[in-house]
Structure 1
Amino acid sequence: MTKPNILILMVDQLNGTLFPDGPVDWLHVPNLRRLAARSTRFANAYTASPLCAPGRASFMSGQLPSSTRVYDNAAEFSSDIPTYAHHLRRSGYDTCLSGKMHFVGPDQLHGFEERLTTDIYPADFGWTPDYRKPGERIDWWYHNMGSVTGAGVAETSNQMEYDDEVAFNAVAKLRDLGRGKDSRPWCLTVSFTHPHDPYVARKKYWDLYENCEHLLPEVPAMAYEDHDPHAQRIFDANDWRNFDITEENIRRARRGYFANISYLDDKIGEILDVLEATRQEAVILFVSDHGDMLGERGLWFKMCFYEGSARVPLMVSAPSMASGLVSDPVSNIDVTPTLCDLAGISMEEVAPWTTGESLVPLGQGKRRESPVAMEYAAEASYAPLVALRDGRWKYTRCVLDPEQLFDLEADPHELTNLAGDPAHADTLTRLRAEADARWDLGRFDAEVRQSQARRWVVYEALRNGNYYPWDFQPLQKASERFMRNHMDLNTVEDVARFPRGE
């Protein structure tokens, strides 16, 4: 079997409800639209955990956070857990990452042979929550509503600077791959930080949404006491009482978010154009780590299992998968087994510990019967939360909270909890039994608490005295670039040119 090249385009905090069948028609995203036209599109794809580091570790490994032990944004991703980069590299692939993956710990590669940028977030244990102190806000890194009240226009920002660099390096890498100096198949992961808040956008993209009819949520803000207990914890963690969120704030925040989707579309267009110009073919996968509530019911950002936060876009363009829509629920933990399937790589050696399933059969007309599982055990939680999406149903559980059961076909905005409705007792009993079989929540809680306590000790110790950070330091081998005296100038110029002799 000829192993295909693989291009993974990953974004951060992109709400999957905006991708019911590719991007909704009012988004200005011509490049994502042309990618969608040739892709298997998964309308009901979910994150394994609605937070950056846990969601990404699960996406890369095919395992839930309870297995990876990446519970939050400061939990170490262990080097002994195989990722898709390990599987592909072991099979002979050149594996490369340009951009964010929020690895925590001294291993900043996790199977990638090359990494072109540093990460945008810290790699140490400083962002560790603490279940021993429920309700504590760690102000210097917890989200607050300033992302909403501060939304607007800027020529540059911390995040724009980062994503400009991610795209620049990805384009340069693709051009270099096109020169054919390395005969191996390649897997290039390009991972952006947008449209993650702050909701600050360049004017050219901001102006695209001046007359947008979608600048207010479909479900208006609800009173604090009308929210479920976990949503109340999110409000408290986000310091909502110290902000006065106006309708204009909401409009500007959502406008900035949509504008940054268009900004990303331009970056993705650059990458796809270079792939085509260098005459390379590749399987292309587009995915996000989690979503953003975008003010629906008054909630922002992520950290919950509601659709805006937990649902993600997922599209795969591959010769063996038909273009079209798949409505069966799937997960971004299915990405690793899917990539291995497309590359003809067996995961048999680690299959007993992998939760994900290949999506290739769904792109060939088959159906998915197994439920999708999600977990959350990070800031704004005081004990782990778990969820199942099974057909039309979504079931959530936490030992601190009442159970929730939603019929997403009849109630897509999840406004009616059916857990107490006798008419749905059989469904509740079935999903409760499924959750019992999957999770020991007492053990899960104890493992999270142990991890948090250990990390607080280690972090404080390492910050005493001389501190050596784990942040990835990208290196450029300047002596191997352009023209140097151990090279033949004629060869250098000939090899660097693409196409040659035209």
Structure 2
Amino acid sequence: MTRKQPNILFLMADQMTASALPFYGHPLVKTPNLSRLAEEGVVFDSAYCNSPLCAPSRFTLMAGQLPSRIGAYDNAADFAADIPTYAHYLRDAGYLTALSGKMHFCGPDQLHGFEERLTTDIYPADFGWFVDWENFDERPSYYHNMSSVTQAGPCARSNQLDFDDEVTFRAKRFLYDFARNGEQRPFCLTVSLTHPHDPYTIPQEYWDRYDHDAIDMPRVPYSRELMDPHSKRLRHVYQLDEDTLSDAQIRNARHAYYGAISYVDDQIGAVLKVLEETGLDQDTIIVFSGDHGDMLGERGLWYKMSWFEDSARVPMIVHAPGRFTPGRVRESVSTMDLLPTFAEFAHDGIAPEYAAPLDGRSLLPHLTGNGGHDEVIGEYLGEGAIAPLLMIRRGRYKFVHSAPDPDQLFDLEADPLELRNLAEEPAYLDLCKQFRDEVASRWDYVRLHAEVIASQRRRKLVSRALMKGRVTPWDHQPTFDASTQYMRNTIDLDDLERRARFPAASVE
């Protein structure tokens, strides 16, 4: 007999590096709610994004396809409306699909399969954040700079707090409404918070949860010897010179980042409380992940945009104790694998017929203890690069290739901090050649490079043109029908109160 389709609650945090979380070994950071999910769920110890930048990572996650296949090059890439997402597949399977929070959709389609979008996005939907590899030295004003670090510290309010407080409120209301409105369809609710993404500032309450003097400094501090060409370009992009930062500023930024993680944990805890209050937790699979990490000063780098572990590795938990035995997965997987996983959740463990080729692979074998893949393919095509930056993570090795730069090969079991580039050592020449041959067979590198440049040129022109004269924004505008909220004379008072109360009052 086919089981009832489970609800899916997908929780996302923005720019949360796995290494800063206690269930991945961090000794200071406090996340009681996430830690409970980890203890009761399946934790993926080696999960990665497929492109370490917000929009490309999210488009890839939603589509289950690599950036080059769907044109997800950078933070101003058009996410085409005809690309099937997990929201389309689940909606087609009978789900109510809803999004509360950030997904960084660029282009006129601001739904991409979601039936309901409960908030606007925190980031713009137009092409204004285009990347221009042909004019690398002309630095756009929207690029990251170091003010997020130099101005780090406590605040009373911020742009991101305004947004994430609304994200949490709307997500909670969705769950209450779902429980009391008699909806027969299962739901897939995506709750996507923007913290702990920089700027590194957080209310005093969260700052005070940590002893400032105990905040750990980067394990691998900046040194010129560690600066590969891409790392040098990243420091140029965000205007970081050798004398830009003091140790005090670095510690402040890390302190605020840890506070922001605790803030995220509190918001997730508030959503989980409603899930439990409504009884929806009994038939809901909870998935938690990030879109990419944050270097937090490691190797002298900040933010993301590289394939080093703190930038590319993300937390991932699947919590469904009644379905999957709690445990940990060592094999390398990626957020691109979530679409086929969600689709199989909806189809009783069987893959549906996909309308487009998938690059992601289901995580169900890992969740059920029946093997599973151990491979991540990645593409970085955004700011700070000058050519495609490709990554293969398989077994104990990570290989990074970009045509203008020397290759990088790391043995992550022997060298988790990536201090020894094996591509420079004679003993690994054969292995490097195998990886290079694989790159040549997987990608038409010259063609991919040309396609990225062509896309940048188009979007540069379109962005410039659409900002002249009358501007028609693409940003999502959430609408609420106030005529049906709260007390209205179109609804009998007793009937209104009965509908709104949950659980329903007993009748004697």
Fold similarity call, TM over 0.5: yes
**Match of residue 303, structure 1, among 302, 305, 325:** 305
**Are the counterparts in 2 of residues 320 and 360 from structure 1 also a CA contact under 8 Å?**
no
1:172 is matched with: 173
Whole-Å Cα distance in 1 between the matches of residues 402 and 223 of structure 2?
22
1:442 is matched with: 446
1:234 is matched with: 234
1:234 shift after superposition:
0.2
Whole-Å Cα distance in 2 between the matches of residues 481 and 242 of structure 1?
56
1:397 matched to 2:401? The reply is: yes
1:270 shift after superposition:
0.5
**Are the counterparts in 2 of residues 48 and 64 from structure 1 also a CA contact under 8 Å?**
yes
**Are the counterparts in 1 of residues 221 and 300 from structure 2 also a CA contact under 8 Å?**
yes
**Are the counterparts in 1 of residues 212 and 255 from structure 2 also a CA contact under 8 Å?**
no
**Are the counterparts in 2 of residues 19 and 43 from structure 1 also a CA contact under 8 Å?**
no
Whole-Å Cα distance in 2 between the matches of residues 351 and 23 of structure 1?
40
**Match of residue 324, structure 2, among 308, 321, 325:** 321
2:202 is matched with: 201
How many residues are matched? 500
**Are the counterparts in 2 of residues 123 and 470 from structure 1 also a CA contact under 8 Å?**
yes
Whole-Å Cα distance in 1 between the matches of residues 358 and 340 of structure 2?
9
Q: Comparing 14-23 with 112-121, which one deviates more in the overlay? A: 14-23
- SS of residue in 2 equivalent to 1:88: helix
1:36 is matched with: 38
Whole-Å Cα distance in 1 between the matches of residues 109 and 253 of structure 2?
35
After superposition, the CA RMSD in angstroms is 1.6
1:62 is matched with: 64
**Are the counterparts in 1 of residues 19 and 25 from structure 2 also a CA contact under 8 Å?**
no
1:460 is matched with: 464
1:102 is matched with: 104
Alignment of 1:115-130 (within 5 A): 115-130=117-132
One-letter identity of the residue aligned with 2:38: A
1:142 is matched with: 143
Q: Provide TM-score, normalisation by structure 1.
A: 0.97
Deviations 1:408-439 (A, max 9, x none): 01111111110122222232222222222211
Which residues of structure 2 form unaligned runs of 5+? none
One-letter identity of the residue aligned with 1:152: G
One-letter identity of the residue aligned with 1:27: V
One-letter identity of the residue aligned with 1:186: F
1:8 shift after superposition:
0.6
1:275 is matched with: 275
User: In structure 2, do the counterparts of structure 1 residues 369 and 187 end up closer, same or farther at CA, with 3 Å as the change threshold?
Assistant: closer
Q: Comparing 431-440 with 354-363, which one deviates more in the overlay? A: 431-440
1:243 shift after superposition:
6.3
User: In structure 2, do the counterparts of structure 1 residues 261 and 19 end up closer, same or farther at CA, with 3 Å as the change threshold?
Assistant: closer
Q: Provide TM-score, normalisation by structure 2.
A: 0.95
- SS of residue in 1 equivalent to 2:214: coil
User: In structure 2, do the counterparts of structure 1 residues 22 and 2 end up closer, same or farther at CA, with 3 Å as the change threshold?
Assistant: farther
1:343 matched to 2:359? The reply is: no
1:211 shift after superposition:
4.7
- SS of residue in 2 equivalent to 1:261: helix
2:249 is matched with: 249
Whole-Å Cα distance in 1 between the matches of residues 372 and 218 of structure 2?
31
Deviations 1:332-364 (A, max 9, x none): 001111111111176554376211111111011
User: In structure 2, do the counterparts of structure 1 residues 351 and 324 end up closer, same or farther at CA, with 3 Å as the change threshold?
Assistant: farther
1:480 shift after superposition:
2.1
Whole-Å Cα distance in 2 between the matches of residues 348 and 432 of structure 1?
34
Whole-Å Cα distance in 1 between the matches of residues 236 and 218 of structure 2?
21
One-letter identity of the residue aligned with 1:381: A
**Are the counterparts in 2 of residues 23 and 33 from structure 1 also a CA contact under 8 Å?**
no
Whole-Å Cα distance in 2 between the matches of residues 200 and 433 of structure 1?
45
Deviations 1:142-184 (A, max 9, x none): 0001111000000110111111111111111111111142111
One-letter identity of the residue aligned with 2:101: G
1:487 shift after superposition:
2.5
**Are the counterparts in 2 of residues 328 and 367 from structure 1 also a CA contact under 8 Å?**
no
Whole-Å Cα distance in 1 between the matches of residues 291 and 443 of structure 2?
23
**Are the counterparts in 1 of residues 9 and 189 from structure 2 also a CA contact under 8 Å?**
yes
1:429 is matched with: 433
**Are the counterparts in 1 of residues 22 and 30 from structure 2 also a CA contact under 8 Å?**
no
One-letter identity of the residue aligned with 1:419: A
1:190 shift after superposition:
0.4
Alignment of 1:358-397 (within 5 A): 358-397=362-401
Whole-Å Cα distance in 1 between the matches of residues 24 and 231 of structure 2?
29
User: In structure 2, do the counterparts of structure 1 residues 352 and 432 end up closer, same or farther at CA, with 3 Å as the change threshold?
Assistant: farther
Deviations 1:460-479 (A, max 9, x none): 11111111100111100112
One-letter identity of the residue aligned with 2:257: Y
Whole-Å Cα distance in 2 between the matches of residues 299 and 427 of structure 1?
28
- SS of residue in 1 equivalent to 2:410: strand
Q: Comparing 18-27 with 243-252, which one deviates more in the overlay? A: 18-27
- SS of residue in 2 equivalent to 1:231: helix
Deviations 1:357-413 (A, max 9, x none): 111110111333452101101111111110010011000000111111000011111
Whole-Å Cα distance in 2 between the matches of residues 242 and 160 of structure 1?
32
Deviations 1:44-96 (A, max 9, x none): 00001000000000111111110121100001100101111111111111111
Whole-Å Cα distance in 1 between the matches of residues 130 and 315 of structure 2?
28
Whole-Å Cα distance in 1 between the matches of residues 503 and 75 of structure 2?
44
Which residues of structure 1 form unaligned runs of 5+? none
**Are the counterparts in 1 of residues 22 and 29 from structure 2 also a CA contact under 8 Å?**
no
User: In structure 2, do the counterparts of structure 1 residues 243 and 165 end up closer, same or farther at CA, with 3 Å as the change threshold?
Assistant: farther
